[in-house]
Amino acid sequence: MLQCAEARNHSLLCVGLDPDPARFPAQLKGDASRIYDFCAAIVDATADLAMAFKPQIAYFAAHRAEEQLERLVAHIKRTAPHVPVILDAKRGDIGSTAGQYAIEAFERYGADAVTLSPFMGFDSVQPYLKYHGKGAILLCRTSNPGGDDLQNQRLASVDGQPLVYEHLARLAQGPWNENGQLGLVVGATYPKEIERVRELAPTLPLLIPGVGAQGGDAEATVRAGLRTDASGTVTGPVIVSSSRAILYASQGSDFAQAARAEAQRTRDTLNAARA
């Protein structure tokens, strides 16, 4: 599905849906009951430009808007069925609790993939892999400064002293990925580390947030993470996410048109970097 959306929309852009009613345009501002209306307008304006949509569950749950999230995913499935939905949830638990989170992501919301925190090991990921055709995208090297506290520490190992994020990339490319359902999250603010993750996980989809408002360099991100074969076919996909720069491109009644213009600018920048 990811490859279909990339080819059909000629896009590496993931539009993040992080609705904050305090930042809505004047006619919607402060009204949490209009989260669906705001996000659906963004979806409709950008559906032919996006490789994926990524709703962040906290922005809905904080405003008791889970039902609006259900409606939004249903709207995407109805109007842009070729564009996958990545539920940005960053869940991290084991056993029956992880199983319930998997039901939430894939059965309640109907997402095509979900972001996870793999800190508790493979049994925190395994329940999601029972849903064949669905993806689990694991936090690997995040862009926040505190990511160094754990991700950039060295492990004692028979293979030398890999950094934690390097070890995770190897696991996700190898023994954890029996059915080819895994991807990795790598922040756009660390292009050298994107390149290192790509070296260790040559075929996994890399979800790369941080382009736009967070300052990530779109061109450096694509060069570091995207891989193609001699025919130009993508062998190592990247899903480059931008949220606030697109959502809040305008505070006026033209917010959807402004979002489209920003999404198109970002998509074109990413495509130019392919060369």
Give catalytic residues, as residue numbers.
90
Question: How many other C-beta atoms can be found within 10 angstroms of the C-beta atom of residue 205?
Answer: 22
Q: Give which of 48, 55, 108 is closest to 79, Cα–Cα.
A: 48
Give 100-107 contacts, CB < 8 A, sequence gap 24+: 101/127, 101/128, 102/127, 102/128, 102/130, 102/131, 105/134, 106/131, 106/134
Return the amino acid letter for 109. Answer: Y
Count other Cβ atoms within 10 Å, centred on residue 274.
14
Other C-beta atoms closer than 10 Å to the C-beta of 159 total 9
CB atoms within 10 A of CB 164: 18
